[in-house]
Structure 1
């Protein structure tokens, strides 16, 4: 894909998605370990405010979205493996947003049951109860009620960050607007923007819980 094709594909996929459906799929994914369902919320959160824009050279690729004018081809098989194995690892890449949400739209979309909602509430309660200095990198063990491994829980936290459910005043995620690629401050951690900056003292944003998950 060229830069313009990648951006157009992501925007088109986002426009077709029901926000309530991706939130419901995320909630269901917690108990079922359906990581392909979990991934869609991260892609939707990042892509929902992605603007139409021309390529603008930045520190690496486009300063707005991170794509190059003509990017290296990416394997759909690889993207699907990442989606199903970890819940996605490239939510900030418009090409992944387009792929992930297109796949989601072709999948039967589940409705959360009481058990699913209760587990999601337990996750949020566990995050609220962490000591204030706990970083996102150390928050994973508190989420052991969610079936899965460390890498899956890291992606779970990243998705909550993309939604602005976990955020800081300076690093607010994508809930209210698109954060340009060059403005996603780097830090020596594998965690994605903005969750790399989060500490438990910053809390859980209940406005964004209601916006994306409707389990408050």
Structure 2
């Protein structure tokens, strides 16, 4: 599956704060190619309903296959579905409930003017998520379900095994920041710091990288907007924000998400 490189470049140059910097003719070109979108108005309840509908059409194997298949070829949009899938599997179906501005259950606003182009830029540019925004999740799952079912290659499996090996061998006080730098040295794994950060955060959502006190989403839902931070200045998402090398890997969670692959069985021996 090849990208439209011209449309992708226009998308990745899009500015959330200065959308007018994108020329109208460029926007229309990328929109026609399926990379950029008009903004939409959506309510909290509509976003949840849409996200749940998309979730029901999505399978674990399809999502994990695409996540793995993205590792060797930089198809970051293939990687973006897993964090949303993991979180939505535990997401409580509910109507908006609040005495203030945001929903007390999920932390989202009652309605939103959703910049779908910016959300798509995150999909293609980072390969993960930047918040627990249900408006983003609804769109990400919709786009995820339009992707082809791509199987991981030997190179993908090898890269993933290197990632897990680096995490398992982390020093006691290694932080996620130190681990992502080590991962960046894996041969054949083209990535930047932001993309590696998103990947480790995804492993956190999967409960593979968590702590005794700060758990991932395998068995529970956490409102990311209210989740505690390890320090005020941290820009890592929960729970990997709290993780250190001494916490190791939740082997049960690793096996739950990746244990069905014969090519990865040596990870569990």
Q: Which has the larger radius of gyration?
A: 2
**Which residue matches 2:51?**
10
Q: How many pairs does the alignment contain?
A: 215
**Which residue matches 2:105?**
64
- Equivalent position to 2:88, from 37, 47, 63: 47
CA drift of 1:84 comes to 0.0
Q: Is the 8 A contact 1:61 1:67 kept in 2?
A: yes
- Equivalent position to 1:99, from 128, 134, 139: 139
TM-score (norm 1): 0.93
Alpha carbons of structure 1 residues 101 and 190: separation in structure 2 relative to 1, 3 Å: same
RMSD: 1.7
**Which residue matches 2:28?**
none
Give the Cα separation in 2 of the matches to 1:181 and 1:193.
7
Give the Cα separation in 1 of the matches to 2:48 and 2:224.
13
Which of 1 and 2 has higher RCO (CA within 8 Å, sep 6+)? Answer: 1
Q: Structure 2 unaligned runs (5+)?
A: 1-41
Q: Is the 8 A contact 2:126 2:198 kept in 1?
A: yes
**Which residue matches 1:80?**
120
TM-score (norm 2): 0.75
CA drift of 1:183 comes to 4.6
Give the Cα separation in 2 of the matches to 1:174 and 1:63.
18
Alpha carbons of structure 1 residues 210 and 52: separation in structure 2 relative to 1, 3 Å: same
CA drift of 1:181 comes to 4.3
Q: Structure 1 unaligned runs (5+)?
A: none
Alpha carbons of structure 1 residues 98 and 11: separation in structure 2 relative to 1, 3 Å: same
CA drift of 1:176 comes to 0.9
**Which residue matches 1:124?**
164
Q: Is the 8 A contact 2:67 2:81 kept in 1?
A: yes
Stretch moving more, 77-86 or 186-195: 186-195
